[in-house]
Each structure stands twice: as structure tokens, then as C-alpha cells.
Structure 1
Amino acid sequence: MSDVHEAVTRAHHDEWARVVAALTRRFGDLDIAEEAAAEAFATAVERWPADGVPPNPGAWLTTTANRKAIDRIRRESKRDDKQKEARMGYDDDPPEPLGAIDDDRLRLIFTCCHPALAVDARVALTLRLVAGLTVPEIARGFLVAETTMGQRITRAKAKIKAARIPYRVPSAGDLPARVSSVLTALFLVFNEGYLATGPDTDPVRHDLTAEAIRLTRLIRALLPDDGEVAGLLALMLLIEARRSARVSAGGELVALDEQDSGAWDKALIAEGHGLVRERLAAAAAGVAPGRYQILAAINAVHTSARDVRDTDWSQVLALYDQLVRVDSSPVVALNRAIAVAELDGPEVALAAVDRLEDRLAGYHAYQATRADLLRRLGRSQDSRAAYDKAIELAGNTAETAYLVRRRDQLR
């Protein structure tokens, strides 16, 4: 990868949401903002190799995107009012300081998560505009086709435009109606960071995990008594604590049972455990835990064991049983089956996994789980076939390398 390509990629990670937010605030149109931002980054790819990377890439991108947006508005004769507004508001001064990123990003998140939009559309739009994820990455997160996801995002932006949904941080009274969608979006951003789904990105994207954690901390400051906000923050911290041990020097994913727990971030684990204990105290007082709180508790069990062989699998399974009552998704059932395998054996777990085939056959983690269970049962030929399917479906390069090695170890 060239230095210029790296600079553009880094700028995209750092500046995408800020540029989109700044243009949305100025022109009041998410569609124009996103398209102008995309054109600005495309221009950077064309011009920076010849002109060099500018001293302030963010300012360059924002100025270029502003001009692209105004050019588009001028071309659209039906938008006379917006053209006048753009001409009045536009100048060549540098964009506002980076200190405004937090407010801009928060406004954009809550605009995307407006109750007028369908829940899936809220989350998808947030991932596209705030996190800058591509449509294929978002589609893989939702386990749907790219065309379906593209249509969903297009409809959401059209709904914001037609309903004249304002670009602003909602009042305190509006937050509870939107926070669930915001948390879902942040969790999916974090997931894409700790195990990226695309073959053309780093297997672990710290820029995304760090940003998801930062934004969740911001939401927690707004809603300090919301148990699910605390639960999601704890979950992210406990997963992030293991980041340095998740990929080997050779670029291969390291499974939890093979990780060096001495390399885990003890400060993050301590903070995550503290949040889990806080939520357990609330549960003892009669406040039922939600999805993220239970997932955080499961991860607390894993990070509490001094050795993977000391993991309290009965507690993990009990927590999954509790989670199933809150979230009956097939992915939760798949993860529960992994805990079942540790307690009741791979044959019982395989039966549970096979019942999910109709809904998860195209999901790489489903095939990888089947492959491992079949390997443990000595069914090498069937295991190899399942590994082949998992390798075909997996997009993460580190995970693919891990699956190839496991497959090739079969007799």
C-alpha cells in the first residue's frame, strides 16, 4: 500500500463522519452530504498522488466536499432556495476546529436514529454515515444481501428528507426513544472493528473499536442510569481488552482458548468488571438485565478465569439461557451451543447447531462452529467440508488463515 493510499485511508477513518456532519448541518440534506463527501475522497485519491498529501487533510476534504455539494445544488434547478442558502453560507475559510467533532457526530447519530425511521434503517444509516462503513460491510453485519441493504439506506435518507427530520441533538426527553437504536449501531460498529468482515481491510480495526467505545462513553454521560448503556460499555471494554492477543504475528486469528491472557489489558478488564458488578447489584434489586448486560456478564466470566480450563461453563450456559429469553436470535442460539459443547459434549451441541441450518447456513461462524464440533467427534470428512464452506464465506483475512490451518490439520 502506497503512502498516499495509506493517507487517504487514514483520513477516511478519521474524517468521514466529521465531513458528512458538517455538510449536513450546512445544507440540511444527508443525501447531498454523503455524495459530496464521497466525491471529495475520490478526488483525494486522484489528486494527492500528484500534488502530495495536504498539511491538513481534514480541512482539504471538508473544503472540497463543500464545493462538490454547492456544484450539485447549482445543477439542480428545482433547489433554488438551497442554492441561495449555499451561496450565502459558503466561504473559503478553514472548517471549524476538530473540537466540534463530538457534537457533530452526536447530532448525526441521533438524526439517523429518529423514531420516524424503521429500526433496521436507523442502524444501517448510522453505520453508513457516522461510521463510514461500506454497504457490503453493513450487509454482512445484518446477514442480508447488499442490494437489500442499499435499498434500505436509500429509503431511510429519503424518509429523513420527506419528513424534514431536523439535524439536532434531541432533548433529554427524546433520548430514551432513540437510545436503543444508537446502542445497536455502536455495537455493530464495534463488531466491524474487532473482527472486520472485508478482505481488503485490516483484520482488526482499532479506529472503529476505539470510536465505538468513545461514543458509548459519551452516551453513558448523557444517560448514567441506563443499564444497557453501561452494559454495552462493559461488553466493549472486556472484548477490547483482548485485542492485542487476538491476532498472531503471522496474521492469524487466535481463538480465545489459545490466547495469552497475560497480554490482556488489565485496566480495561477491571473497568469492565466494575460495570458488570454495578449491573449485577441492580439486578439483585429487581431491575431485569438487558441483552448487553448479559453479554457483558458472559465476557466477565471468560476474563475472570486464570486459565481457559478454569472457565465456569455452567455459569456461561446459565447466562445464555437468560439471554435467550431476551434475544431469541439464531446467532445467540449458536453461541449457546458452544457452551453446551463444553458441558454436555460436541454431539449434543451439534444437534442444536444443525437445527439452525435454515437460518444460518450462509453465515461463516455457523459453518466454522459445525466444523469444529465435527472435528471433535472424529468426523474428519464432514468437518473438512464445513471448514471449506466457512473459508468461502469468511471475509476476515486473519480468520480465514485460522480456518485454513484448522482444516489442514485434519487427517
Structure 2
Amino acid sequence: MQYKIEDSIKISIDTLTTGMFVTAIENTERVNLSNAGRVSSSPAINKLHQSGVKFVWVDKKLSDKNCKIKPVHTVTTPQATALSMEKPVKPKATSRVANQKKAKKLVAEAKGLTNRLINQTFDGKIIEIDEINDWADELIESALIDADALSCVSALRQKDQYLLEHSVNVACLLVTFGTYLGLDKPTLKQLAVGGIIHDVGKIQVDDAVLQKPAKLTPEEFEHIKLHQVFAHELIANIKGLDTISRDVCLMHHEKLDGKGYPSGLKGDEIPLHGRMTCIIDIYDALTADRCYKNGMSSAEAFKIILSLTPFHLDADLVYKFINCIGVYPVGSLVELSDGRVGIVWSSNSSQPLKPEVKCFYSKKYKRFVDIVYIDLKTSKLKIESAISPSSLKVDSTPFYD
């Protein structure tokens, strides 16, 4: 029986253990699909070693639950696979690894902070802003040192943590955009705090409406809009909250034509930080998986955001935001002209259509491939399209490290 390996993970033969379900083996750069099956004993693994097998593909779903599968994270020579037709680019220096670990820690801390904030607010407790301020200082430092590392970490999502992740991502994007616009550190700090608390009013929205996997009725949409009214009351319990943070929370659904909510502000009544948050809130919501929809690619989200100018969103700021995070933002998924799929690993301000891409999968051959970093500035390849994680149908999460 032949097995497809599109959902399989390539691992080194050295990490193969009993209980894993092998869908293919690689011997002398040739992939053999006829050896599929569960590894039942150590002698079976030894036999593969003796046969010169270096890599195998394993199906995580069909393997024993206690199996620890480690994807191959090595850069190989062009001869290692028919897909690698160019000289591989070395991965980023260890500083990127360290910065990404720090960014991951910051994002995890932010989710914890947001969760505590939600719980304390729900219980009617007075909230001290000091802990969030300390986190905001670290976030700004991380963004200034290595914005790509922060963007790559914040791009990772889990479907069951939308409210937490949305708040953290809005905070990160506000700091990134604010830095691009040249805003000072005290303002960046207030933007970060505002991003963390901006959706706090949703804790008082009916869960049945908030999690409804279908189009809302007009009555349900009016109920959702009440989260901004609830926010007015809730943030009164946050001691030491600055004006900008408060505005970020209360203005992210306002529109330039006055048709937004809760206050129906128009034009210059919405300050810069309010306009920034309107753009970022929509962008992050569009690119996230929700209970009622799959997240879209950055390119698709940009089209929708541009269609909302100039009546709802500030056109000049929208173009600056796109320039800031890039046509293909760091952390987003793209397909190259040779069929490979990768993560946009670092940006290129002088040539935004030619970032560095960390390739790990082939849509053409429907399998994971050896990881290679391709700098499109020096490659004949180009980006064919931006793709959403949901359309890829394989898990890209392990390759963000």
C-alpha cells in the first residue's frame, strides 16, 4: 500500500524510535514510499541504519502519543534534495536565536498578564498598572533590538486563545508601528499598555454571541458593540492608566466618517494613536483564525484595509503601516516560484518584495523538505503568493524556532 507523506515530518534516523509510524525513507537522496508502517522494535531501526538510511518521514497522528518527533532543522547541500537547486543560505546568527527566545518569553508573559487582567476585571478588583508597565518596557527594548524576532513569535497563533493573542499582537504591532513612525518611548509604552487592555470589555459580552460560528444578527452585533461601553466602566478600575492607553482601548472602533462606535468620533477628533489602533485591530482580526472563519493571508488583509480608506481608515497611515510591516510581514507564510513554502524570516527595507525566507515544505511534492534560508535579493526565485496557515494544511509551528 502506498502512503502519502504530505502530513508527515522529516526526521533524522538517529531520532527514530519504536512506536513511530514511518511513511517514507530516504536513501541516497531517493525517497522510497514502500516501507510504510509502525516501527515495532530496535532491530528494525538498526536494519535501517545498516541500509544507509539517513532520514525518514513519520506521521505524527499515526505514531504512539508518547513519541517525541523532532523535525530536521539542518541546512543541506544542493544535492540533498531535488528541490534545493541553489546554495543554501546560513541561518541567522545566534543573536537571532537569543532574541527570539526572549521575544517568546515576552509574549508568554503578556498572555499571562492579559489573562490575570481579565480575571481581576471580571471580579471587580482594582488593577495595578505597574506590572503591565514593566512588561511594556521590555517589549519596547525587544522591538528596538530585533523587530524581526518579535514579529516572528507574535505571528504564531492558537485557535483557542484568540482574545489573549489578539490583545498581545495588537500591543506588539502598535509598538512596531509606533517605532517606525518615530514616536518616543513614553508614547510607545502607553501604546503597548493600551493594546493589552483594548478588548477588556469583551469579558462582559455574552459568550454565546462572542463565540457564535455564524453571521451575527443585527441585535447580536449591537450587543457585541457594547463591549466598548463596558470598557468605559472597567478601565476605571485600572490605577495609573495614561490617556493614550485609555484612548487605544476606547477608540479602536471609531471611523473617520463618524460611523464608528462608541462615540461616533470624526476626522481629527480621532488622534494619531486612535487611528493607528483602528488599522492594527482590523489587520490582526482579519489574519487570525476565529470560531467562524479561517485567518486570511496578509495580502488579502491589506486589500480589505485599503478598501476601507479614506472614509473609515486614514489612507496615509494605512500605507505607512503596510510599509512598516512589509508587503510580506515577518512571520507570514509565502509560496515561492519553485513550489516551496516558507516563513518570511527577515525583512528587506530596500527591496520589500525580496525578504529572506525559511523554506520547510513543498506544495509541489506535498512533503516537508530540508530547511534552507533563501535570501531573495540574491536568488532567481520570487514570491508567488502569500498564503494563510489554514490553507497550507500542515503544521508550520515547529519551524518558527
TM over 0.5: no
Judging by fraction of residues, say which structure has more helix: 1
Judging by fraction of residues, say which structure has more strand: 2
Q: TM-score, normalized by length of structure 1? A: 0.28
